[in-house]
Amino acid sequence: GQNIDQPTEMTATEGAIVQINCTYQTSGFNGLFWYQQHAGEAPTFLSYNVLDGLEEKGRFSSFLSRSKGYSYLLLKELQMKDSASYLCAVRDNDYKLSFGAGTTVTVRA
């Protein structure tokens, strides 16, 4: 089975940095994904980690530690448009995704 935990909500100020943590306990591991989902819209792909370390993509970075079952998504220079839910998903050995419940980030002016 899969158990994926992430905080329910986070609030930050425009221009600041926010780190969203994700911990997982899964029966198999074949990569970790982060998706962004604006209210009423579809999830959109942000990042993918399969090896330990940091992946940087513009203002967004994602980190993975497989030994600790831990990942984080770092959002830098926050903008109002970054207000959304951020979904952590783990791919198992059958290449199926299991999702956490999502973290709602609210960016304040």
Query: Which positions touch other proteins (CB under 8 A)?
Result: 4, 30-31, 33, 41-45, 48, 87, 89, 95-102
Q: Which residue has the tokens 């994602």?
A: 62
Minimum distance between the CB of residue 78 and other proteins, rounded to whole angstroms? 23
The smaller minimum CB distance to other proteins, of residues 14 and 45, is found at: 45
The answer to whether the CB of 43 falls within 8 A of the CB of 29 is: no
Cα separation of 27 and 44, whole Å?
Answer: 25
Residue 41 makes CB contacts below 8 A (sequence gap 6+) with none
Minimum distance between the CB of residue 16 and other proteins, rounded to whole angstroms? 26
Minimum distance between the CB of residue 46 and other proteins, rounded to whole angstroms? 10
The smaller minimum CB distance to other proteins, of residues 40 and 53, is found at: 40
The pair of structure tokens assigned to 62 is: 């994602």
Residue 56 makes CB contacts below 8 A (sequence gap 6+) with none
Minimum distance between the CB of residue 94 and other proteins, rounded to whole angstroms? 9
The smaller minimum CB distance to other proteins, of residues 69 and 102, is found at: 102
